[in-house]
Protein backbone atom coordinates (compact mmCIF):
# COMPACT_ATOMS: atom_id res chain seq x y z
CA UNK A 1 0.00 0.00 0.00
CA UNK A 2 1.50 3.28 -1.07
CA UNK A 3 1.07 6.27 1.17
CA UNK A 4 1.53 8.87 -1.52
CA UNK A 5 -1.14 11.56 -1.23
CA UNK A 6 -2.14 11.14 -4.88
CA UNK A 7 -3.10 7.54 -4.36
CA UNK A 8 -4.86 8.34 -1.13
CA UNK A 9 -6.95 10.87 -2.99
CA UNK A 10 -7.79 8.40 -5.74
CA UNK A 11 -8.70 5.78 -3.16
CA UNK A 12 -10.91 8.17 -1.31
CA UNK A 13 -12.62 9.12 -4.54
CA UNK A 14 -13.15 5.47 -5.49
CA UNK A 15 -14.59 4.96 -2.02
CA UNK A 16 -17.03 7.81 -2.66
CA UNK A 17 -18.27 6.25 -5.92
CA UNK A 18 -18.64 2.89 -4.19
CA UNK A 19 -20.48 4.33 -1.20
CA UNK A 20 -22.88 6.09 -3.57
CA UNK A 21 -23.45 2.91 -5.57
CA UNK A 22 -24.12 0.97 -2.40
CA UNK A 23 -26.56 3.56 -1.08
CA UNK A 24 -28.45 3.42 -4.38
CA UNK A 25 -28.98 -0.35 -4.46
CA UNK A 26 -32.53 -0.24 -3.04
CA UNK A 27 -33.40 2.50 -5.55
CA UNK A 28 -31.86 0.40 -8.31
CA UNK A 29 -34.08 -2.56 -7.39
CA UNK A 30 -37.19 -0.38 -7.56
CA UNK A 31 -35.90 1.20 -10.78
CA UNK A 32 -35.43 -2.25 -12.30
CA UNK A 33 -39.06 -3.13 -11.57
CA UNK A 34 -40.18 0.19 -13.06
CA UNK A 35 -37.96 -0.44 -16.11
CA UNK A 36 -39.64 -3.80 -16.65
CA UNK A 37 -43.06 -2.20 -16.45
CA UNK A 38 -41.96 0.51 -18.90
CA UNK A 39 -40.75 -2.18 -21.33
CA UNK A 40 -44.01 -4.06 -20.98
CA UNK A 41 -46.01 -0.87 -21.52
CA UNK A 42 -43.96 0.03 -24.62
CA UNK A 43 -44.51 -3.47 -26.00
CA UNK A 44 -48.24 -3.17 -25.49
CA UNK A 45 -48.13 0.08 -27.48
CA UNK A 46 -46.42 -1.68 -30.38
CA UNK A 47 -43.07 0.04 -29.99
CA UNK A 48 -41.13 -3.17 -30.53
CA UNK A 49 -37.94 -3.87 -28.60
CA UNK A 50 -35.38 -1.47 -30.08
CA UNK A 51 -37.24 1.81 -29.58
CA UNK A 52 -37.97 1.49 -25.84
CA UNK A 53 -34.44 0.24 -25.13
CA UNK A 54 -32.82 3.05 -27.13
CA UNK A 55 -35.16 5.47 -25.35
CA UNK A 56 -34.03 4.20 -21.93
CA UNK A 57 -30.37 4.35 -22.92
CA UNK A 58 -30.35 7.87 -24.36
CA UNK A 59 -33.00 9.53 -22.17
CA UNK A 60 -32.61 7.59 -18.88
CA UNK A 61 -35.59 9.37 -17.41
CA UNK A 62 -38.30 7.22 -15.89
CA UNK A 63 -41.04 9.75 -15.28
CA UNK A 64 -40.53 11.47 -18.66
CA UNK A 65 -40.53 8.17 -20.54
CA UNK A 66 -43.75 7.02 -18.86
CA UNK A 67 -45.27 10.40 -19.74
CA UNK A 68 -44.27 10.01 -23.39
CA UNK A 69 -45.82 6.54 -23.46
CA UNK A 70 -49.01 7.90 -21.91
CA UNK A 71 -49.32 10.80 -24.37
CA UNK A 72 -48.46 8.82 -27.52
CA UNK A 73 -50.50 5.84 -26.32
CA UNK A 74 -53.54 8.10 -25.96
CA UNK A 75 -53.09 9.26 -29.56
CA UNK A 76 -51.29 12.51 -28.74
CA UNK A 77 -48.64 13.98 -31.02
CA UNK A 78 -44.89 14.37 -30.70
CA UNK A 79 -45.10 17.97 -29.52
CA UNK A 80 -47.48 17.16 -26.66
CA UNK A 81 -45.30 14.22 -25.65
CA UNK A 82 -42.10 16.28 -25.69
CA UNK A 83 -43.76 19.07 -23.72
CA UNK A 84 -44.96 16.66 -21.04
CA UNK A 85 -41.48 15.19 -20.75
CA UNK A 86 -39.76 18.58 -20.59
CA UNK A 87 -42.11 19.79 -17.84
CA UNK A 88 -41.43 16.66 -15.83
CA UNK A 89 -37.68 17.08 -16.22
CA UNK A 90 -37.59 20.83 -15.64
CA UNK A 91 -36.65 20.27 -11.99
CA UNK A 92 -33.26 18.97 -13.14
CA UNK A 93 -32.43 22.56 -14.13
CA UNK A 94 -32.20 24.00 -10.60
CA UNK A 95 -30.84 20.68 -9.31
CA UNK A 96 -28.02 20.96 -11.85
CA UNK A 97 -27.23 24.52 -10.76
CA UNK A 98 -27.01 23.27 -7.17
CA UNK A 99 -24.40 20.58 -7.92
CA UNK A 100 -22.52 22.64 -10.54
CA UNK A 101 -19.74 23.98 -8.26
CA UNK A 102 -18.82 20.41 -7.27
CA UNK A 103 -18.45 18.96 -10.76
CA UNK A 104 -15.14 18.84 -12.60
CA UNK A 105 -13.47 19.74 -15.87
CA UNK A 106 -14.41 21.94 -18.81
CA UNK A 107 -17.91 22.59 -20.15
CA UNK A 108 -18.17 19.28 -22.02
CA UNK A 109 -17.18 17.17 -19.04
CA UNK A 110 -19.44 19.20 -16.76
CA UNK A 111 -22.34 18.70 -19.17
CA UNK A 112 -21.64 14.97 -19.08
CA UNK A 113 -21.31 14.79 -15.30
CA UNK A 114 -24.55 16.76 -15.01
CA UNK A 115 -26.34 13.83 -16.63
CA UNK A 116 -25.84 11.97 -13.34
CA UNK A 117 -28.45 14.20 -11.72
CA UNK A 118 -31.50 12.07 -10.93
CA UNK A 119 -33.80 12.59 -7.94
CA UNK A 120 -32.53 9.83 -5.69
CA UNK A 121 -28.81 10.37 -6.38
CA UNK A 122 -29.07 14.11 -6.01
CA UNK A 123 -30.87 13.83 -2.68
CA UNK A 124 -28.52 11.10 -1.42
CA UNK A 125 -25.51 13.26 -2.33
CA UNK A 126 -26.89 16.36 -0.58
CA UNK A 127 -24.66 17.17 2.39
CA UNK A 128 -26.68 20.07 3.81
CA UNK A 129 -26.02 23.79 3.50
CA UNK A 130 -26.18 23.49 -0.31
CA UNK A 131 -23.13 21.21 -0.50
CA UNK A 132 -23.01 18.07 -2.65
CA UNK A 133 -20.80 14.99 -2.90
CA UNK A 134 -19.90 14.58 -6.59
CA UNK A 135 -18.49 11.05 -6.39
CA UNK A 136 -21.37 9.85 -4.26
CA UNK A 137 -23.92 11.22 -6.75
CA UNK A 138 -22.28 9.70 -9.82
CA UNK A 139 -21.76 6.40 -8.00
CA UNK A 140 -25.43 6.38 -7.00
CA UNK A 141 -26.67 7.02 -10.54
CA UNK A 142 -24.72 4.19 -12.21
CA UNK A 143 -26.60 1.21 -10.70
CA UNK A 144 -29.92 2.98 -11.27
CA UNK A 145 -29.04 3.58 -14.92
CA UNK A 146 -28.05 -0.04 -15.45
CA UNK A 147 -31.19 -1.24 -13.66
CA UNK A 148 -33.44 1.02 -15.74
CA UNK A 149 -31.93 -0.14 -19.04
CA UNK A 150 -31.79 -3.85 -18.15
CA UNK A 151 -35.33 -3.62 -16.79
CA UNK A 152 -36.53 -2.05 -20.04
CA UNK A 153 -34.86 -4.83 -22.06
CA UNK A 154 -36.48 -7.53 -19.92
CA UNK A 155 -39.90 -5.89 -20.14
CA UNK A 156 -39.68 -5.19 -23.87
CA UNK A 157 -38.68 -8.80 -24.53
CA UNK A 158 -41.88 -9.88 -22.78
CA UNK A 159 -40.42 -10.80 -19.43
CA UNK A 160 -43.54 -9.79 -17.63
CA UNK A 161 -42.67 -11.89 -14.58
CA UNK A 162 -43.09 -9.03 -12.18
CA UNK A 163 -46.66 -8.48 -13.21
CA UNK A 164 -48.18 -5.25 -11.99
CA UNK A 165 -45.56 -3.46 -9.86
CA UNK A 166 -48.42 -1.73 -8.08
CA UNK A 167 -49.68 -5.06 -6.77
CA UNK A 168 -46.44 -5.38 -4.84
CA UNK A 169 -46.68 -1.81 -3.58
CA UNK A 170 -43.51 -0.90 -5.48
CA UNK A 171 -44.94 2.48 -6.46
CA UNK A 172 -44.64 3.72 -2.86
CA UNK A 173 -40.96 2.89 -2.67
CA UNK A 174 -39.95 6.24 -4.15
CA UNK A 175 -42.21 8.52 -2.08
CA UNK A 176 -41.30 6.52 1.05
CA UNK A 177 -37.58 6.88 0.31
CA UNK A 178 -37.96 10.57 -0.46
CA UNK A 179 -39.75 10.95 2.87
CA UNK A 180 -36.74 9.37 4.61
CA UNK A 181 -34.33 11.66 2.75
CA UNK A 182 -36.56 14.63 3.54
CA UNK A 183 -36.49 13.76 7.26
CA UNK A 184 -32.70 14.07 7.18
CA UNK A 185 -32.94 17.50 5.57
CA UNK A 186 -35.21 18.86 8.30
CA UNK A 187 -32.45 19.77 10.72
CA UNK A 188 -33.41 23.39 11.17
CA UNK A 189 -36.71 25.15 11.65
CA UNK A 190 -36.38 26.99 8.35
CA UNK A 191 -36.13 23.73 6.37
CA UNK A 192 -39.33 22.50 8.01
CA UNK A 193 -41.18 25.68 7.03
CA UNK A 194 -39.81 25.41 3.46
CA UNK A 195 -40.89 21.77 3.20
CA UNK A 196 -44.40 22.58 4.44
CA UNK A 197 -44.81 25.48 2.01
CA UNK A 198 -43.48 23.36 -0.86
CA UNK A 199 -45.84 20.51 -0.03
CA UNK A 200 -48.89 22.79 0.16
CA UNK A 201 -47.86 24.62 -3.02
CA UNK A 202 -47.34 21.39 -4.96
CA UNK A 203 -50.59 19.82 -3.80
CA UNK A 204 -52.67 22.90 -4.51
CA UNK A 205 -51.30 23.09 -8.06
CA UNK A 206 -51.82 19.42 -9.01
CA UNK A 207 -55.42 19.84 -10.23
CA UNK A 208 -54.61 22.86 -12.38
CA UNK A 209 -51.33 22.23 -14.21
CA UNK A 210 -49.51 19.47 -16.07
CA UNK A 211 -47.64 16.84 -14.03
CA UNK A 212 -44.16 18.10 -13.21
CA UNK A 213 -45.14 21.74 -12.91
CA UNK A 214 -46.23 21.45 -9.25
CA UNK A 215 -42.78 20.13 -8.31
CA UNK A 216 -40.86 22.83 -10.16
CA UNK A 217 -43.19 25.53 -8.79
CA UNK A 218 -42.66 24.22 -5.26
CA UNK A 219 -38.95 25.01 -5.65
CA UNK A 220 -40.00 28.64 -5.11
CA UNK A 221 -40.36 27.77 -1.43
CA UNK A 222 -36.56 27.57 -1.32
CA UNK A 223 -36.50 31.37 -1.75
CA UNK A 224 -37.14 31.46 1.99
CA UNK A 225 -33.43 30.75 2.23
CA UNK A 226 -32.91 34.43 1.40
CA UNK A 227 -34.45 35.53 4.67
CA UNK A 228 -31.79 36.50 7.14
CA UNK A 229 -31.70 34.06 10.02
CA UNK A 230 -32.21 35.94 13.22
Partner 1 sequence: MSTLWVTIVVVALASAAIKASGPVLVGGRDLPPRAVAVIAMLAPALLAALVVTETFGEDRHLVLDERAVGVAVAGLALALRAPVLLAVALAAVATALVRAFV
What is the smallest separation between the CB atom of 135 and partner 1, expressed in angstroms? 15
Closest CA to 78 of 89, 67, 90, 63: 67
Number of CB atoms found within 10 A of residue 172's CB: 12
Nearer to partner 1, 7 or 192 (CB): 192
What is the smallest separation between the CB atom of 15 and partner 1, expressed in angstroms? 21
What is the smallest separation between the CB atom of 5 and partner 1, expressed in angstroms? 22
**Residues in Cβ contact with 185 at an 8 Å cutoff, skipping those fewer than 6 apart:** 126, 128, 191, 195
Nearer to partner 1, 150 or 194 (CB): 194
What is the smallest separation between the CB atom of 197 and partner 1, expressed in angstroms? 8
What is the CB-side half-sphere exposure of residue 71 using CA atoms within 13 A?
19
Nearer to partner 1, 14 or 192 (CB): 192
CB 152 within 8 A of CB 38: yes
Nearer to partner 1, 11 or 101 (CB): 101
Q: Per DSSP, what are the bridge partners of residue 126?
A: 132
CB 105 within 8 A of CB 163: no
What is the smallest separation between the CB atom of 42 and partner 1, expressed in angstroms? 9
Alpha-helix runs per DSSP H in 74-212 = 78-89, 92-99, 107-114, 119-124, 134-156, 173-185, 189-205
Nearer to partner 1, 11 or 133 (CB): 133
Amino acid sequence: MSRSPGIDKTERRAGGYLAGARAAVPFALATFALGVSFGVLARSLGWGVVAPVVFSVIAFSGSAQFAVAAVLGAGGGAIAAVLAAVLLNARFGPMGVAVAPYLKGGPLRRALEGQAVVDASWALASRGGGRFDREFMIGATLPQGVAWIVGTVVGALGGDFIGDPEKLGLDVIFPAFFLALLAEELREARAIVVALIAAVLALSLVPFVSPGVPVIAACAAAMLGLRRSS
